[in-house]
Amino acid sequence: IRTRVAIVGAGPAGLFLSHLLAGAGIESIVIDNRTREQIETTIRAGILEQGTVEVLDSIGEHSRARTVGHRHDGIELRFAGAGHRIDFQKHVGRSVWLYPQHEVLKDLLAARTAAGQDIRFGVTADHVEGADTATPVVFATDAEGQPLEIEADFVVGADGSRSVVRAAVTGSSTGGYFREYPFAWFGILCEAPPSADELIYSNSPDGFALISQRSDTVQRMYFQCDPEADPAALSEEQLWEELQKRVPGTTLKEGHIFQRDILRFRSFVAHELRHGRAALVGDAAHTVPPTGAKGMNLAIADVLVLNKALQALLLEGDERLLDEYAEVASQRIWKAQHFSWWMTSMLHVAPDASDFDRRRQLGELRTVVESEAGQTYLAEAYTGWPLAVGL
């Protein structure tokens, strides 16, 4: 089959790109190896930058971020037994929205389906050929196990951290700048009311915890754990004990824990983001550790940049913006890499941390919360830097 833009991956990046391209009259096909139900129910990130909410407004009534989501005007940084509020509105006049990624996906899928977008679920991309030609091809296998070839003017890898498009862009499936962390997050979902009005990022001698939320009745919480931890090994009672001791000075509202998972911590940026007629966006291009909630927001920012470049290429035959894609996207990517690494290193306790490291870390936290500049930096980064390219 033939299309103008073949988009591999029906996550936030791929679906949002199909929406923007359609708005410019550019037809695309989106494929994903998962079912629609899997996409709509997998629990992922939870925080949208203000700029992300603003651009998602472009999908119209289907976007429920402002109606179902909750605006948050700050977070609490907790350490040495005391909480310190970072007031986003006061420092940068901006906010974030607590709105789970799978809800964003439901909205995008509803909007794209209503617009007649060709989205094919259960289709597994195998590899891409011809990125150096004017007609790159995605070789895939459809839901019935039959081969499917999609010939396009351009191929976009929005296919996540295990991207198969990446090899056509970087020459290998792994090539990139990479960092591992010696800890992970143990994530839970529980049936309980919120323990606080805003999210709590807590540093404690026992490690980090994040007290997040999902709704009035369901809460999301994480605590620092060993990357090899077995999510089934602890009882509910033990999990509450682990969480409570990481937020000294706060009493968490407990309830039945109905889901648990382990989140790996990695920083990754592919060596190349574009090669010929193929480009990477979102997790296919980069991974950030979750602290600071930059992942999905960064994916949307990449898409805004690539969208304009593809419009120039496909509507006017102008390659100049495409030639700038990697450089423009990289600037935000590396700022987000730094912020995510910084929040992670400032709040977690490394397994080999010395007494010096521990005290230096408390000094760093105090530097941030006692400084207008420090609070402003955190607020600016957390709520999202201005977008380089708009709708």
Between 200 and 269, CB nearer to ligand DHB: 200
CA angle 239, 245, 248 (to 5 degrees): 145
Check if 308 is active-site. no
Interface with ligand DHB (CB under 6 A), residue from 8, 45, 309, 346: 45
Active-site hit among 136, 290, 325, 348: 290
Question: Residues 151 to 210: which contact ligand DHB by CB under 6 A?
Answer: 199, 210
Q: Which among 135, 132, 128 has a CA at the least distance from the CA of 153?
A: 135
Please give the Cα distance from 247 to 251 (Å, whole number).
8
Between 26 and 47, CB nearer to ligand DHB: 47
Query: Residue holding tokens 């941390």?
Result: 353
Check if 72 is active-site. yes
178 contacts 264 by C-beta, under 8 angstroms: no
Interface with ligand DHB (CB under 6 A), residue from 9, 46, 136, 384: 46
Cα Dmax for the chain: 62
CA angle 45, 179, 369 (to 5 degrees): 60
Residue 47 as a binder of ligand DHB (CB under 6 A): the answer is yes
Check if 290 is active-site. yes
CB of 270 to ligand DHB, least distance (A): 22
Site string for ligand DHB, 290-329 (x = CB under 6 A): xxxx------------------------------------
Active-site hit among 19, 294, 308, 348: 294
Check if 99 is active-site. no
Residue closest to ligand DHB when measured from CB atoms:
46
Question: Residues 238 to 277: which contact ligand DHB by CB under 6 A?
Answer: none
Interface with ligand DHB (CB under 6 A), residue from 18, 204, 212, 383: 212
Check if 382 is active-site. yes
CB of 220 to ligand DHB, least distance (A): 5
CA angle 266, 120, 48 (to 5 degrees): 40
Please give the Cα distance from 388 to 320 (Å, whole number).
16
CB of 46 to ligand DHB, least distance (A): 3
Please give the Cα distance from 11 to 118 (Å, whole number).
14
Residue 65 as a binder of ligand DHB (CB under 6 A): the answer is no
139 contacts 262 by C-beta, under 8 angstroms: no
In three-state form (DSSP H/G/I as H, E/B as E, the rest C), the secondary structure along 342-376 is HHHHHHCCCCCCCHHHHHHHHHHHHHHHCCHHHHH
Binding site residues, ligand DHB, CB under 6 A: 45-47, 199, 210, 212, 220, 290-293
Q: Would you please indicate which residues are annotated as catalytic (active-site) residues?
A: 72, 201, 290, 294, 382
